Amino acid sequence: MPLDELRDLLERHVRLDLTTAIEGVRVCRIDHTASPVSSMSGKVLAVIARGGKRLALGDQVYEYGPGQYLVASVDLPVTGHVIEAAPGHPALGFGMTLDPAAIAELLLSAGPGDLPRSPGTARPGIAVSNAPDELLDAIVRLLRLLDRPQDRRTLAPLFKREILWRLMTGEQGEAVRQIGLADSSLSHIARAVQWIRENYTRPFRVEEVAQLSAMSVSAFHRNFQAVTAMSPIQFQKHIRLQTARLLLTNSPNEITRVAHRVGYDSPSQFSREYRRLFGAPPSIDALRIRAGSGSTGAALP
């Protein structure tokens, strides 16, 4: 069974930094459940081989377990944690970056009728499905190359293309295909997401970002909410607070300075919103992270 071999490959090739010798491929092993971790998702495929994971995006919660995959088609602020893991029975996961250029190339090379018709409407930026054997088999063949360095340079790009193709023709294919379309609704929202991330410290008018996205304000609101499960202002708040959390791990006693640095005028408002998102006041949360009982690592895969 592909899932059995996938577990074996993941256990044998896990590293502390999650990286592998194949660019854009990550392997994750977690031996125990832990507090939720906040990070940016990246555009990524994540597959669970053992255990289970819960991921939150705004008010939306996604759970996925063995033999299921998650696609993040936009770089979004998420909070995730393993919900099934124990010593001797660790959670195991595979992650692969979704490259827009590679997806666009496959779209161009596809023949008439090879791909379903795309309605072009914005889809949620995160989705979960059961992984078909064809997808798991392609992932297994890619990971086998970690044991065959002489084949890696030639075959890894081919197996990555197959994985992308299985995604593009699968249940979440519409979301994946839109990653490679420069003029898709998803691409317009992705540009808005990137702009907010780069300008998160300053106030902005939604009309301004809608114009950058080449959308009317009503269409922008509708599509942004569909993709990110948040309003643009809520999205900005998540980016501010995640950035503040990283800064506070190095400066736990400089809450007011960090609040101003990420764009808050009121330290008390910052503390309230920080506690609402992370479950503890900034000072306590920062000390907890420094002591090792919290984490600012990646929420995926």
Residue-wise pLDDT tens digits, 68-91: 999 999 999 998 889 888 888 999
Measured at the CA of 186, the angle between CA 182 and CA 191, to 5 degrees, comes to: 70
Closest by CA to 21, choosing from 10, 29, 13, is 13
Q: Which amino acid is at 151?
A: D
In the numeric block, the tokens 């970056």 are attached to 97
Is the model's pLDDT at 113 over the cut of 70? yes
**Rounded (10°) angle between helices 282-290 and 267-278:** 50
Residue-wise pLDDT tens digits, 220-239: 999 999 999 999 999 999 99
Q: What is the pLDDT of residue 287?
A: 81
Task: Please give the mean pLDDT across all residues of the chain.
Answer: 90
Rg (CA), the chain: 20
Question: What are the contacts of 267-274 at 24+ separation with CB within 8 A?
Answer: 270/244, 273/237, 273/241, 274/241, 274/244, 274/245
Residue-wise pLDDT tens digits, 160-185: 999 999 999 999 999 999 999 877 88
- Are 2-180 and 234-292 in the same CATH fold? no
Q: Which residues, including other chains, have CB under 8 Å from residue 202's CB and lie 6 or more apart? A: 263
**C-alpha to C-alpha distance for 190 and 259, rounded to whole angstroms:** 26
Is the model's pLDDT at 289 over the cut of 80? no
What would the CATH number be for the domain defined by 234-292? 1.10.10.60
CATH-assigned architecture of domain 2-180: Sandwich (2.60)
Distance of CA 231 to the CA centre of its chain: 18
Domain ranges of the chain: 2-180, 185-230, 234-292
Q: What is the pLDDT of residue 120?
A: 62
Q: Give mean pLDDT, residues 38-59.
A: 91
pTM summary value: 0.86
Helices (H) and strands (E) in the chain, counts: 12, 9
In the numeric block, the tokens 């304000």 are attached to 217
